[in-house]
A and B are shown apart, each in its own frame.
Chain A
């Protein structure tokens, strides 16, 4: 299977009679050979924190069997892995830990953001939840779902294999601008009420009614009214 992959594309056409006829010899470039080896023997590091980690277990165990994709050697040390599975919510307290883990992985390395919490914070738009791990690490593939179905995660793994073969790799944290940006979440009740009171007082001082008060008034007749008569 893998060798046929290697023949595809720009290097050698597998249907070309010379290849099969030639017997045991395949010609390719060293670069393509290394990439093919890399994508068929991914060593993932699962950074599982929450619910998604349980679905990740389901993917790695016998029913869904991640070994079919050559990625079953789970390493719990970043030094020995080339794919980071971030499975679960990352909160602000965890952010520096995730960054350290990513930095410790040897290059080249890829990152899968599993589930909406890791991708965007999910439905936790709140004071302690990171709104997507791409604030601190570059992400190659985002997988939607809460949690994603096992098939979705396997599909993401195949996307990573494609990226490895093409030599593509995310380099910069895509959402770094969001880190430290003020959250525009729900309303600060007391501040809002105080702002309204200040505004009302200022308008009253100018002799105007408070904002938002609907005032009915009779419109003056329009200048061109006689045309309608």
Chain B
């Protein structure tokens, strides 16, 4: 016990997670740290499962929402005893706090006990950590490659794997499931090139008549290696990559990235930049929900609503286009603010977009919400109970559809969301219709936020004046030697954050979008892990469709809004 209190600083024992784990584990708790408000606890790997179970079940902790699990490779870091580390992120909806649990894993014996018995959502994350880092999770039911293809050799996220070393896929996996011998069940393959699988997901289902008796999903058809690329880019250069994560609402990803790096640096953005970020983020949320609902009903055979909804998207594109010159992949955000101020026509364009979305929502209500055919296809289909949703790690509109009112904009306000008056819609049953209604209502609430933010948008600078983070204005660069030097240093050296690690999280269109950023003080991040909201959501999909009809499987997947760029990164 004495060594445990030595590992945990006395101030940290005020935090329930540190106190409880230190009392229970003794000297198997290796260290605890609090950097920028993130509580991180490192335990010995022998007590990995015990610690996770304690975090979930202890009445004072209640970390029931599984967020993320990832590996990190500390090759040649002298201050680390072991080469690998596994980091787990959890959240407690009832107590509203995050925690990061870590454990070192040696290179000579990279093994760790599986958490699949504690959290359902751990399954795919552990497969990913094995695929990318070669960490073996003992007791995992299906530890095979998930993101890379089957002819791949090596574990690409290791620091000693060359970034561009490719392998040719020789024999694609034909079967994800086996038909039991003697059975007359039909094995049907859906995707990846299938209109309702959006080009990048693949599901195989075993059918008895039209009822699905077993299903298995395969992902990785869009794994284009954001995280490996991020390790070789400066903090600025990563912004365009984030746009391409969830490309239906590009701006929100950049917003989340900027906030994560600002948290690491301890440099806030000015109020005007935050207000503009909020307006564009909420418009992006509307764009995302419009495509989600539109594509969902196209899969069910109704093309008209999608045409109607896309019309409003064009008006939002006009706003983004006027701000930064791009329609879809905007790259408008900068660390510490925005690239430039909004044009004079901004208020008028936003007003037009808001009016257009209102009209579209009215039409969509008439076409869909009160449409009996649509209701019959959606009500009571794909029910996800609250406890299951938390264990899978669901977030965002899907979790709120299941009746959990967790919204980061309310629970942990960022960018000034506490100033705006809005409601968080919550479903009751957790079926497709609830998820649809939550999305429709969220769009109305987003419009309310946009109007409030536009009404009281502060004047002032749009980027921080910290010259170690943001470039000085061009007029100063050409006019003064100090600004010229600042410009040169920042372009040449990049942003140099302090060593440390943060988990930045925002409420993106699909839910909690987290960035786990590890910095070693140099201009490239040592590790960036995206916590993609739809990864957990899609992981539950095979289990959701089991026992249902094949046609319902198509109705369910559209409502989950799985975006390939975010899913596979």
**Does residue A16 face the partner (Cβ distance < 8 Å to B)?**
no
B interface residues, tally (CB under 8 Å): 55
Partner of B328 from the list A49, A124, A147, A186 (CB cut-off 8 Å) is: A147
Q: Is A88 within 8 A of B199, CB to CB? A: yes
Q: Mark A36-64, 1 if CB is under 8 A from B, else 0.
A: 00000000000111110111011001110
Instruction: List residues of B (285-318) whose CB comes within 8 Å of A's CBs.
Output: 291, 306-307, 310-311, 313-314, 317
Determine how close the nearest CB of chain B comes to the CB of A171; give it in whole angstroms.
22
Q: Is A127 within 8 A of B220, CB to CB? A: no
Q: Is A189 within 8 A of B159, CB to CB? A: yes
- Complex Cα distance, B310 from A48, in Å, reads 17
B194 nearest CB neighbor, chain A only: A76
Partner of A94 from the list B156, B192, B228, B313 (CB cut-off 8 Å) is: B192
Contacts of B247 in A (CB 8 A): 50-51, 54
Determine how close the nearest CB of chain B comes to the CB of A80; give it in whole angstroms.
13
**Does residue B25 face the partner (Cβ distance < 8 Å to A)?**
no
Q: Is A92 within 8 A of B169, CB to CB? A: yes
**Does residue B120 face the partner (Cβ distance < 8 Å to A)?**
no
Determine how close the nearest CB of chain A comes to the CB of B246; give it in whole angstroms.
10
Q: Is B232 within 8 A of A93, CB to CB? A: no
With A92-B149, A183-B162 known to touch, is A54 a contact of B248 (CB < 8 Å)?
A: yes
- Complex Cα distance, B160 from A97, in Å, reads 30
**Does residue B539 face the partner (Cβ distance < 8 Å to A)?**
no
Determine how close the nearest CB of chain B comes to the CB of A102; give it in whole angstroms.
11
- Complex Cα distance, B248 from A175, in Å, reads 31
From B76, B166, B192, B243, name the one whose CB has the most chain A CB atoms within 10 angstroms: B166
- Complex Cα distance, B75 from A179, in Å, reads 31
Contacts of B141 in A (CB 8 A): none
Instruction: List residues of A (141-182) whose CB comes within 8 Å of B's CBs.
Output: 146-147, 149, 179-180, 182
- Complex Cα distance, B193 from A124, in Å, reads 22
- Complex Cα distance, B289 from A119, in Å, reads 30
Determine how close the nearest CB of chain A comes to the CB of B123; give it in whole angstroms.
20
Contacts of A93 in B (CB 8 A): 148-149, 169, 172, 220-221, 223
Q: Is B225 within 8 A of A55, CB to CB? A: no
- Complex Cα distance, B76 from A146, in Å, reads 37
Q: Is B199 within 8 A of A62, CB to CB? A: no
**Does residue A187 face the partner (Cβ distance < 8 Å to B)?**
yes
**Does residue A1 face the partner (Cβ distance < 8 Å to B)?**
no
**Does residue B124 face the partner (Cβ distance < 8 Å to A)?**
no
A191 nearest CB neighbor, chain B only: B160
A130 nearest CB neighbor, chain B only: B166
- Complex Cα distance, B149 from A190, in Å, reads 25
Q: Is A123 within 8 A of B229, CB to CB? A: yes
Contacts of B172 in A (CB 8 A): 93, 96-97
**Does residue A66 face the partner (Cβ distance < 8 Å to B)?**
no
- Complex Cα distance, B162 from A182, in Å, reads 11
**Does residue B31 face the partner (Cβ distance < 8 Å to A)?**
no
**Does residue B327 face the partner (Cβ distance < 8 Å to A)?**
yes
Q: Is B328 within 8 A of A63, CB to CB? A: no
Contacts of B229 in A (CB 8 A): 123-126
Instruction: List residues of B (242-290) whose CB comes within 8 Å of A's CBs.
Output: 243-244, 247-248, 250
- Complex Cα distance, B163 from A190, in Å, reads 13
With A55-B327, A94-B192 known to touch, is A127 a contact of B222 (CB < 8 Å)?
A: no
Q: Mark B148-171, 1 if CB is under 8 A from A, else 0.
A: 110010001001111111111100
**Does residue B200 face the partner (Cβ distance < 8 Å to A)?**
yes
Q: Is A186 within 8 A of B232, CB to CB? A: yes
Q: Give residues in A with beta carbon < 8 Å to B.
A: 47-51, 53-55, 57-58, 61-63, 76, 88-89, 91-97, 101, 117, 123-129, 146-147, 149, 179-180, 182-191
List 28 A-B pairs, Cβ < 8 Å: A48-B199, A49-B200, A49-B222, A50-B200, A51-B247, A51-B329, A51-B565, A53-B198, A57-B310, A61-B311, A91-B221, A91-B223, A93-B172, A93-B223, A94-B221, A96-B169, A96-B172, A97-B172, A97-B192, A101-B193, A127-B161, A127-B165, A128-B152, A129-B224, A183-B166, A184-B164, A186-B232, A190-B159
